[in-house]
Amino acid sequence: EELETFRKMGVYHKVPITECLQSTGKQPIGVKWVDVNKGDWSNPEYRSRLVAKEIKRDSRDDLFAATPPLEAKKIFFSLAVTEGIGYKRDKQSGMKLDFIDVRRAYFYAKARRDVFIKLPDEDYEEGMCGKLDLSMYGTRDAAQNWEEEYSGFLTSIGFRRGKASPCVFFHKDKSLTLVV
């Protein structure tokens, strides 16, 4: 299922390993399968994810992706139940909260640098590696790429980015606030 998603979304395309060596001077980044039980012991629901093994070997300061403060979520809960702000007695108006999970979010973000991965055994081809077209879990800049992707989209449709937290967005015309 994971490899089918890789193919369908076009996460990488195959290139000769020599292209990786010419571009980076290094071998492609290794990959590994990570299995997670999303269920419990009595009702297991295993999911396998293919992740890159890009290990931090330098002290780059430019790899940063913001995460929302817990207080942002807490303030939404507080506003939602405060009468006159989020809670209205007539029940036709008031604040609504929604929580949305973007499945395989990093696959929606373009790779912004040349990243080459070893092909998994299930897609192996002699002398070839994968060049990422989209971000992949396990690469150092995946979170930053995802942040740039959703921020660019939200601002293009009229949201303003928060000053105190870059993970908070507000759309004045729609009176909508988001925490990503």
Q: Measuring CA to CA, how many Å separate 149 from each of 95, 105, 133, 154, 156?
A: 27, 10, 14, 9, 11
- Scan for tokens 């105190």, then name that residue: 164
* 106 neighbors 149 (Cβ within 8 angstroms): no
pLDDT in tens, the chain (180 residues): 899 999 999 999 999 999 999 999 999 999 999 999 988 989 998 989 999 999 876 666 677 788 888 888 898 889 888 887 777 777 667 778 888 888 899 999 999 999 999 999 999 999 999 999 999 999 999 999 999 999 999 999 999 999 988 999 999 999 888 999
Q: What is the DSSP string of 15-52?
A: EEHHHHHHHHSSPPBPEEEEEEESS-SSS--EEEEEEE
CA atoms within 13 A on the CB side of 135: 21
